[in-house]
Amino acid sequence: MQPLIELHGVSKSFGGLRAVDGLTATIRRGEVVGLVGPNGSGKTTALNLITGNLTADSGAIVFEGRNIEREAAHRITRAGIARTFQLVRVMPTMTLAENVAVGAMFGARPCGPSEAEERALPLLVRVGLAPRAGERAQSLTYIDQKRLELARALAAQPNLLLLDEWLAGLNPTELKEGIALIASLARDGLTIVMVEHVMDAIRALCTRCIVMNAGAKIAEGTPAEALADPGVVKAYLGDDDDA
Ligand SMILES: Nc1ncnc2c1ncn2[C@@H]1O[C@H](COP(=O)(O)OP(=O)(O)OP(=O)(O)O)[C@@H](O)[C@H]1O
């Protein structure tokens, strides 16, 4: 499989804190990769560097053969990378259909508002929100706002979808539905990187897993391999000497 995106020695500091520390990783087309690690290990910062929400201090990010580490976020979206946020960011006073249409208007195949709303409807069906297409986003529960955000990301017609704890906070039934939805996107051939603490979801969905700790990659492999790595177990649990 060809690389879709490559990170080469990417670093980002906040004051004295090295949030991402020389991260090197390759994501190939069609993979579903889990980006995992303890709280504060740099996962969201890594996503923010890929999407241009933050700019790396050093290192290179190559998407479909093109360097994007200095590109503005809107250009990266247009290049084919879409995301959801850990803390959802829907437009509360706009309808669900309008929220999703915005994704289509500013995505990889931009279009006008009426075509964008047409493109929005099948995506609302896909995430189970079609009956509420005309309601304002502010009327949704938090979980449904997450679904809406996913539909908006898909409306951008990305080649790479980044999910930041999209499954967090779901009840067992919702989790099952959420996993099935991500699996169906993967079956369609979408390349997905998911930051996730729900390890059952990582095991169910991911072909590969990258584990971060203190800003650096500490393990990589199938979920079974990576999560059993002694360094990973230690990063999550601490070792006896820390007690
Ligand atoms: N804008 C910022 N300004 C200052 N420090 C930040 C900023 N964003 C993140 N950090 C710090 O960088 C480190 C990495 O944060 P990040 O959110 O990337 O971790 P994470 O692995 O996604 O954590 P979690 O699993 O809890 O979401 C943390 O110590 C965090 O406090």
Same domain, 117 and 143: yes
Question: Of the candidates 158, 177, 208, which is a domain's last residue?
Answer: 158
Rounded to the nearest angstrom, the distance between the alpha carbon of 205 and the centre of ligand 1 is 25
The verdict on the CB of residue 45 being under 6 Å from ligand 1 is yes
Say how far apart CA 134 and CA 1 lie, in whole Å: 41
Q: For residue 58, list its beta bridge partners.
A: 11
- As for the ipTM of the complex, it is 0.96
Q: Which atom of ligand 1 is nearest to the CA of 86?
A: 27
Mean pLDDT of the chain: 93
Six-digit token string for 13: 């500091």
Tell me, what's the pLDDT at 1? 66
Same domain, 229 and 173: yes
Of the candidates 217, 186, 190, the one whose C-alpha atom is nearest the C-alpha of residue 204 is 186
Q: Residue 172 belongs to a domain with what CATH number?
A: 3.40.50.300
Q: Within a domain: residue 37? A: yes
Tell me, what's the pLDDT at 106? 87
Quote the radius of gyration of the chain (alpha carbons, Å). Answer: 18
Tell me, what's the pLDDT at 243? 38
Rounded to the nearest angstrom, the distance between the alpha carbon of 128 and the centre of ligand 1 is 32
Q: What string of DSSP letters covers 46-89?
A: HHHHHHTSS--SEEEEEETTEE-TTS-HHHHHHHTEEE--SS--
Same domain, 74 and 178: yes
The verdict on the CB of residue 119 being under 6 Å from ligand 1 is no
**pLDDT single digits (tens) 200-234:** 999 999 999 999 999 999 999 999 999 999 999 98
Same domain, 143 and 195: no
For residue 76, give Cα distances in angstroms to 71, 108, 124, 135.
7, 9, 24, 30
Q: Which of 18, 45, 53 to mutate to test the pocket of ligand 1 (most atoms within 8 A of CB)?
A: 45
Say how far apart CA 60 and CA 68 lie, in whole Å: 8
Q: Within a domain: residue 149? A: yes
What is the 8-class DSSP label of residue 116? H
Of the candidates 135, 140, 144, 131, the one whose C-alpha atom is nearest the C-alpha of residue 178 is 144
Could you tell me the pTM of the whole model?
A: 0.94
Q: Within a domain: residue 243? A: no
Percent of the chain residues past pLDDT 90, beyond the cut: 83
Question: Of the candidates 107, 137, 158, which is a domain's last residue?
Answer: 158
| Helices H / strands E in the chain, number of each | 9, 10
The verdict on the CB of residue 12 being under 6 Å from ligand 1 is no
Same domain, 51 and 167: yes
Same domain, 19 and 127: no
The verdict on the CB of residue 20 being under 6 Å from ligand 1 is no
Tell me, what's the pLDDT at 13? 97
Say how far apart CA 31 and CA 27 lie, in whole Å: 7
Rounded to the nearest angstrom, the distance between the alpha carbon of 126 and the centre of ligand 1 is 32
Q: What string of DSSP letters covers 125-175?
A: HHTT-GGGTTSBGGGS-HHHHHHHHHHHHHHT--SEEEEESTTTT--HHHH
The verdict on the CB of residue 87 being under 6 Å from ligand 1 is no
CA nearest ligand 1 atom 28, residue:
40
Same domain, 137 and 187: no
Q: Average pLDDT of 140-154?
A: 94
The verdict on the CB of residue 42 being under 6 Å from ligand 1 is yes
Domain that holds residue 129: 91-158
Same domain, 125 and 53: no
Same domain, 63 and 115: no
232 CB-near residues (< 8 Å, 6+ apart): 211, 213, 218, 219, 226
Instruction: Answer yes or no: is pLDDT of 57 > 70.
Output: yes
Same domain, 71 and 163: yes
Q: How many residues in total does the chain contain? A: 243
The verdict on the CB of residue 103 being under 6 Å from ligand 1 is no
Instruction: Answer yes or no: is pLDDT of 236 > 90.
Output: no
Question: Of the candidates 117, 141, 158, which is a domain's last residue?
Answer: 158
Rounded to the nearest angstrom, the distance between the alpha carbon of 179 and the centre of ligand 1 is 25
**pLDDT single digits (tens) 182-191:** 999 999 999 9
Under the banding of pLDDT at 50, 70 and 90, the label for residue 87 is confident
CA nearest ligand 1 atom 17, residue:
44
Number of structural domains in the chain: 2
